[in-house]
A and B are shown apart, each in its own frame.
Chain A
């Protein structure tokens, strides 16, 4: 079972860790990256929002949006990895800014970046964070410096946002609806008048009445400036999708063993299937999965306070483990060919490379 996961870490070029928030995705991503580097693959892990101490231990606490090699001191008394391990923390806003600077002329870029509506859209447009994660992934790939890129996705409430991001953002930016809405503010209006129907007129009047005309004018200016870049945007989004769709990529869905979390994981597995994206498998993190112990009753019956408490605790874990297995089976059993890896919740407070290695051992077994 864990061999499949080991193989992914050994031969894929991109691993996307995704899933609902609060399940330990960032930690899993970092643990996989440490393992890959330990095995001799030059690896970068791009995370979204690591715990402060984990970020500090990887040297990420003070850097922004650029990759940095994890310092030798991060390994403490432990061994140095066989290949270099790099890490970075994604800054969504800065990635968007860089993209604009990259795509537009200096003068236009300056005007876009100072538009009040851009300020808004660059941080709040649905899907922007997901899109920027992909954009950064593509950049890292293009740089060609790493054998393995592990990327942690934003904790979006619906994993769908991530896959949908390129289409959503381009659909939105090119949307007929937008053009219709904003036509009085746009210079290029040819042809659009015909589709300007009654509903849109009424809506437009209402929108202006509610928001005041300044907002719509800011929006219109922004889109006017942005118009020439739609094509480039779309092309980039398509290239990212293509890259994600190859067998050099694997998606790993991370979930916790709770029903709600597993439901989201199921949805994601199905969605990846529909989009023909390569699913690596599902990691169920922080489970109580432990092997049965035959002598448990005898140990409990000793009456020794430590042994009785330890045996009862173990028994609780077994009970919880069975319930979790049922929940996992209910959510995922009917999805053919989906590997599921359970990680027992034996390592906590993961805030240094040593703990990441212990977690990797729990996931993949010790390095032979």
Chain B
């Protein structure tokens, strides 16, 4: 079976901080949209990090069309709260009164679980939204909080249901819980790097998510380095890069000062160690999880913009994971 990033209606994209989950979420959304799916991409951390990936200054509320078939939105808790109140009570006045009394302060500080549930509530609303008979979106991609906060984020419905013993919030909590625990409706896509710490965190997250009854999709291994050397050369560089390079130079009949040799050796050895570690870590990951893995190459550019997102979207499409 082919690994699929789009087997559920909602793809919850997460990963350890700094692994590039936002970029992968954007690439996934763009790849799916390019294949004709109607896609909504949501961010919930208020970081405004999606907008630059589409070459626009900021994402507004409500959603914004950023590419053919693709809308994106930065979900803000107090707007979600007002929208929610309006939807369930049809009262605009309360919405206004809320704005007046700093609703966000209430939502984010007094009951932080409430904030999370409003944010996931918005995801659920988008997933269920219908235009006439059909779903408004074929796929909702969520740029979710990092894995360190993800269990608490996804567990908010349960926590709120425990804390709030009656009323519509409790009903809402159960509705969200249904979505999160139904593999046809949502699955978590974890993004990781071929390095020890992110992989360790990925393995732990998968176990935690499974315990919570949340489906886990394929794991995307981001920034996989190309292997410049054969395995034999790699070994010789790891054991003594200076010697290996000096010998090759002698054989080829070129001379270079000691400093040059030193610099070349340091970089070659670092690369050789990295690719060896990378293979070891990926083998370990493969053994520890029974999830398919999708490798994405490292980019040389320090800035990620629309061009890089397009490139990564084509990598994901070519992997066959978007269907």
Q: List the interface of chain A (C-beta within 8 A of B).
A: 20-23, 49, 51-53, 116, 120, 124-126, 155, 157, 172, 175, 177-178, 180-181, 198-200, 202-203, 206-207, 209-212, 214-215, 218-219, 256-262, 290-291, 293-295, 298-299, 302-307, 309-314, 316-317, 319-320, 323-324, 327, 344-349, 351
Contact = CB atoms under 8 A, between A and B. Distances in A.
A51 B196 CA distance: 8
A215 B304 contact: no
B185 interface: no
A206 B228 contact: no
Interface stretch (B3-11, B16-24, B28-36): B16-24
Closest 5 CB pairs of A and B: A22-B18, A21-B17, A302-B252, A202-B97, A199-B100
Nearest to A209: B167
Contacts of A260: 49, 52, 304
Contacts of A157: 17, 45, 47
Contact of A126 (B109, B146, B252, B269): B109
B263 A291 contact: yes
A177 B101 contact: yes
Nearest to A350: B196
B98 A206 contact: yes
B311 interface: no
B252 to A, nearest CB: 4
Nearest to B277: A349
Given A307-B248, A309-B233, 19 more contacts: A22-B16, A177-B102, A177-B105, A181-B101, A203-B106, A206-B85, A210-B169, A211-B164, A211-B169, A215-B163, A219-B110, A259-B303, A290-B263, A295-B257, A309-B228, A313-B268, A316-B300, A348-B270, A348-B277
Contacts of B97: 198-199, 202-203, 206
A255 B53 CA distance: 20
Given A203-B103, A327-B303, A302 B254 contact: yes
Contacts of B277: 348-349
A349 B196 contact: yes
Interface string B157-172: 0000001111111100
Interface of B: 16-19, 45, 47, 49, 52, 85, 93-94, 97-98, 100-103, 105-106, 108-114, 146, 148, 152, 163-170, 195-197, 200, 228-230, 233, 236, 244-245, 248-249, 251-254, 256-257, 260, 263-264, 266-271, 273-274, 277, 300-304
B249 A345 contact: no
Nearest to A155: B17
Contact of B146 (A21, A258, A314): A21
B105 A348 contact: no
Contacts of A310: 228, 245, 264, 267-268
Contacts of A22: 16-19
Given A120-B163, A314-B264, A323-B302, A306 B229 contact: yes
28 contacts: A22-B19, A51-B200, A52-B200, A125-B112, A126-B108, A177-B102, A181-B106, A203-B100, A210-B169, A212-B165, A215-B164, A219-B111, A258-B303, A260-B49, A260-B52, A293-B256, A293-B263, A299-B249, A299-B264, A302-B253, A307-B249, A309-B229, A310-B245, A313-B268, A316-B300, A327-B303, A348-B195, A348-B274
Helix, strand, loop or mixed for chain B's interface?
Answer: helix
**Best-surrounded residue of A120, A218, A260, A344 (most CB of chain B within 10 A):** A260
A175 B105 contact: yes
Nearest to A304: B252
Given A310-B264, A313-B271, A346-B270, A211 B111 contact: yes
Contacts of B102: 177
Nearest to A116: B163
Given A155-B17, A214-B164, A203 B270 contact: no
B304 A259 contact: yes
B101 A203 contact: yes
Contacts of B163: 116, 120, 214-215, 218
Contacts of B268: 310, 313-314
B254 A312 contact: no
B42 to A, nearest CB: 17
A302 B52 CA distance: 43
A262 B16 CA distance: 18
A257 B228 CA distance: 23
Contacts of A302: 248-249, 252-254
A257 B200 contact: no
Contacts of B264: 293, 299, 310-311, 314
Nearest to A27: B197
A293 B298 CA distance: 24
A313 B265 CA distance: 11
A175 B101 CA distance: 12
B302 A257 contact: yes
B233 A298 contact: no
Nearest to A299: B254
Contacts of A304: 248, 251-252
A345 B270 contact: yes
Given A21-B146, A210-B167, A346 B266 contact: yes
A21 to B, nearest CB: 3
Contact of A259 (B113, B196, B252, B302): B302
A262 B303 CA distance: 10
A336 B223 CA distance: 34
Nearest to B85: A206
A72 B217 CA distance: 44
Contacts of A309: 228-229, 233
Contacts of B244: 306
Nearest to A302: B252
A53 B253 CA distance: 44
Contacts of B98: 203, 206
Nearest to B266: A346
Given A120-B113, A309-B228, A314-B263, A258 B302 contact: yes
A351 B196 contact: yes
B16 to A, nearest CB: 6
